[in-house]
Structure 1
Amino acid sequence: MKFNNILVSQNKGLASITINRPKKLNALNKETIEDLSNVFQTLEEDSNIKVIILTGAGEKAFVAGADISEFAHFSVNEGGSLARKGQEMLFNLVENLSTPVIAAVNGFALGGGLELAMACHFRVASDNAKMGLPEVSLGVIPGYGGTQRLPQLVGKGKAMEMIMTAGMISADEAKDWGLVNHVTSQEELIPLAEKIASKIMRNSLVAITAAITAVNANFEDGINGFDIEIEEFGNCFGTEDFKEGTTAFLEKRKPNFPNN
């Protein structure tokens, strides 16, 4: 797979996506969003890919925001269309991917960059990372799901403060607030993400997909997450992975999941 703004590598079921615009601090422009959408869809359809790690090129930024020059002169309708298309094309796509996605936040994750990290299933960060949603300083609000996902992760009050002040928080603060799961050095960031990915890949990927569906259901309007959990739990009983997992447990051996 070749793209203008991202790099993709694969190794033993693990795919790594690197947003590669270091001179622009990996800012999200239209082409990059399209590239990311295409690569996530391609990897989702590849049965050999078990986990995806998303990061940014260089040591300064994961994604420092959206490319403001592309929409500075948009009309009301164009602005609304930009947000809707971006959410549908990339951010909602990532959140609902059945393949686990880990964001490895290696520096600034601001605006659309933090929104992209929040769309991933969870986040690890380097100790130099800075995160924030500075949109109100530009006279606009987050448009790629930031006003919705940030309160889910850190609570309404913290989210309101971050959005209203347009300030940045450190990696340690992000961990304390529940925005990221782990903080480590820049050098150990990708190895840590890979270590977590290897743990994920030992388990039933069929069950993990069901868990993603159930967890996400709790945040959908009009959906009873408990009902979805019951449905997905029941569906697991009809899978080969369930048969192998329970048999291996009873036989006191490690499972060899057929769908892994």
Structure 2
Amino acid sequence: MQLHPFTSLAAAGSTAVLTTAAASLPLSLAVIAAAACLSVAGGVERRMAAAAAGILVPLVLSLFILHGLFFPEGAAVLAQWGPARVTVEGLQFALDRATQLSASVLVLLLCSFTISVPDLVASLSARGVHARFAFVLASTLTLLPAITTRLGRIRHAQEARGLVITGGVFRRMTAFRWQAVPLVLSLVDEAGTRAAALEARGFGGPGARTSYREVPDPPFQRRLRLVLLLAAAAATVVRLGQSWVGS
């Protein structure tokens, strides 16, 4: 069954909210496993793994460094170096937050890598959203996949010219600037090209617009989106209520 773009967005957003609100390690691990399996089924596992690694590795490391070494409520000390203490409670807290964050990032990345931009733009336009704003919103959701693809092409081109990017961390950091400059310049150039193309297609023109692209939206998916949004809202209210009672 082909998911409507709004259904994909509702499923990704609701899953991220529910996982964060539940704060359950088994649920977070289940969401991570499901996102990984769906990425393989969709054929986007390599691109998604590269993007997830770039986002999650520094964040997860910072969580373990901050909470693993400087967790004030930690009682079971495993090791200590001056004010820094490795505690069981700190490592458990860091693990819980890292899995929650990983689950949310992975489901959002999966949505951005698999959603159909033309269908999303057509669906937004059909709901009365201005065509220019619809295109900007759709492009924002797919910005990370586009950057990942473009960065891979730049890296392959530079490796073909003899630039050594493999190796240790410092060598990779040194080589990163040789990739960042052409990446930024190519994105700026592409933005100008896209703006000209949009003007040529009348995206900035006034008046009613029609679209040749019809995106089916079955009643079942509309009801499913409502249930997902209500579940996310209810989970948020319950979580905030628990925090308020606890404080």
TM-score (norm 2): 0.31
Structure having the higher Rg: 2
- The answer to which structure, 1 or 2, has the higher relative contact order (CA under 8 A, 6+ apart) is 2
Instruction: Give 1 or 2: higher strand fraction.
Output: 1
- Structure 1 length-normalised TM: 0.30
